[in-house]
Amino acid sequence: MKKTVWIFLFFCTSIIGFTQTFDTVLLLDNGPSDKRINLVVLGDGYDASEQDVFMADATQLIDYLFTTPPFSNYSNYFNVYAVKIISPESGVKHPGTATDVAEPVFPISNPNTYLETTFDYQDIHRCIYTPNLNKTTQVLAANVPFYDEAFVIVNSPEYGGCAGLYSYFSAHSSANEIMVHELGHSFSGLADEYWFAPTGESPNKTQDSNSQTNRWRNWIGTDGVDVYPYEEDASWYRPHQNCVMRSLGNPFCSVCMEATIERVHQLQGPIESFSPLAEIVEIGEQSIDFEVALILPEPNDLVLSWELNNEVVEAQQANISIVESDLEEGDNFLVFRVIDNTPLVRTDNHHAIHVSTVTWVLNKETLGVEDMEVSENSFVLYPNPTANVVHVKSNQSLTSSLTYELVTSTGQLAKKGEMNLSNSKVYAIELSDLPPQVYILNVYDSQSNKLYTQKIVKK
C-alpha cells in the first residue's frame, strides 16, 4: 500500500487463447452487464482446496465495500463477479529484497501462484503487485471480458497492497480498509495523501494553492477540506487531514468521495432502458405511453422531468402518456431528462456527465416515433470487444464538430482526435497499438455542448 504503481507494458494482442478459464460466480446481480459497472474479484495464492476460503474472503470484502460511502450510495449501479483462480501452490511470494526495511520481516517464500503476485515489489516491502501484469489481464479477458474494474485478493495474512492498472492486496485483518484505499487509486484515480509520490495532479493532489482556482475550491471550508501541503514537498497540496487516502480507518473525504462518484457517472448513467424505441408506433386515437427504467442511487436524489417542445409537462415521473391533442403540426420534441442532484458532488468545471437524456421526435400526422437521441447511447461500437479496430457508428444526425478521447479505466489519456461523421456516419479508431483493457470513449459535440460516453473492451 506504500505507493501507486503505474506500469506500462506491451501486451500481446491475442491473449485469450492462451489463458485458462475458471469458475466465475456472480456475487452481486443488479442488472444487465452492459448497463452496470462490472467489478471483478480475483484471487491469487489460493490452491484447489482453498476456493471456499477465497469465496468467503471475496464475499466479505464486497459486503464491506457496499456499506462504505459513496459505493453504498451507488451499489445498484454495480454487478460483482468472483473468478476462482486456482494456484498450483498456496501463499504469496516474499523474496525478502525490499530496501525500505531490514528484511526479512517475515519468512521468505516463493510459492508457484497463478498471477505471480509478490511482496517487496519495486523494493518496497509492503507493496504487493505482480511483475507479470498481463496474466491478470489475460484472466479477465478470458473470463469476464466486459469488466470495468478488478482487484486481486492475495492469500497472505501479512499486511500489504498496491494499485496500478488493478489493485492487489493481502487477506490481512485490515483487508477491508486496504481494499477501499486501493480502489481509491485504481477506480477513482486518487493519489496517496500520507506520502508524496511524483505522479502528477489528481482529483486530490495539486500544485494550485489558490482557494479561488484550486480544483477542490467548491469544498474548501466544508467537512474539514482545505489546502494542506505535503510534508515531503510543500509545493504540492492535498485536501484533508483524515481521509482514507491518508490513513486507514477513515472515510473518504468530500473531495475523494466526489471523485469516486464522478467515476461512477462516467461509467454508467441512471438510464437503464426506455420505450418505445425508434420504430414507428401506429396509434390512431389512442395515446402513446413513454417510459424510462432508472437505476436509483441511495438516497434517491435523481431529478426527473419531461419536456414537450421545450415546456415541462411532467416532473418526478418515469413515464408519461402523449395524445394527439398534445402535439403541434409537424415535428414535436419529447425529452426525458434525469439529473443526479446528489449533494456529494459540487463539480462545475467540466462537461456535464451528471445529466442523461432521451429525446423522441413525434409527428402529429403519424403520431409515431420517428427518431430519438440518447446522450448515453448515441453511438454503436462494433466489434466490441475488439483486438484491433473499433468502428463508431452514429445513431443520429450529429455535427462535424466532434472530438474524441479514449481514456483508460484510471483516467489516463490513451488517444484523442477529431471525428467526422457527417458523411459516412462511421469512424474507425485504431486500437492495435494499445494494451488490452477496458477503455472509455468520450465524444464531445462542441455545437450542442454534449458529452457521449461508451465503454470499449480491447482484447
Fill in the amino acid letter for 256: C
Give the strands of the sheet with 402-408, arranged side by side. Answer: 413-419, 402-408, 438-445, 450-457
Residues 6+ apart with CB under 8 A from 227: 209, 211, 214, 220, 237, 239
State yes or no: cis peptide before 299, omega within 30 of 0. Answer: yes
CA distance 161 to 247: 14
Q: Which fold has domain 379-457?
A: Immunoglobulin-like (2.60.40)
pTM for the structure as a whole: 0.77
CA 297 from centroid of its chain's CA atoms: 16
Is domain 16-186 in CATH 3.20.20.100, yes or no?
Answer: no
pLDDT tens per residue, the chain (459 residues)? Answer: 333 333 322 333 333 345 589 999 999 999 999 899 999 999 999 999 999 999 999 999 999 999 999 999 999 999 999 999 999 999 999 999 999 999 999 999 999 999 999 999 999 999 999 999 999 999 999 999 999 999 999 999 999 999 988 999 999 999 999 999 999 999 999 999 998 888 889 999 999 999 999 999 999 999 999 999 999 999 999 999 999 999 999 999 999 999 999 999 888 999 999 988 753 444 445 778 899 999 999 999 999 999 988 889 999 999 999 888 888 777 778 889 898 999 999 987 554 457 888 888 787 665 444 443 444 445 667 677 777 888 777 655 555 668 888 887 656 788 988 887 665 567 788 898 888 887 878 777 766 656 676 778 787
Look at residue 328 and give its three-state secondary structure: coil
- The second-level CATH assignment, the architecture, of 271-374 is Sandwich (2.60)
**How many CA atoms are closer than 13 Å to the CA of 301, on its beta-carbon side?**
12
Residues 6+ apart with CB under 8 A from 225: 216, 219, 239, 240, 253, 254, 255
Domain(s) labelled CATH 2.60.40.1930 in the chain stretch across 379-457
What kind and span of H or E run contains 368? strand 368-374
Work out the end-to-end distance of the chain between its first and last CA atoms, rounded to an integer number of angstroms.
Answer: 29
Domain(s) labelled CATH 3.40.390.10 in the chain stretch across 16-186
CA dihedral 394, 437, 263, 178 (to 10 degrees): 170
State yes or no: cis peptide before 32, omega within 30 of 0. Answer: no
Cβ pair 49, 10 in contact under 8 A = no
Cβ pair 376, 452 in contact under 8 A = yes
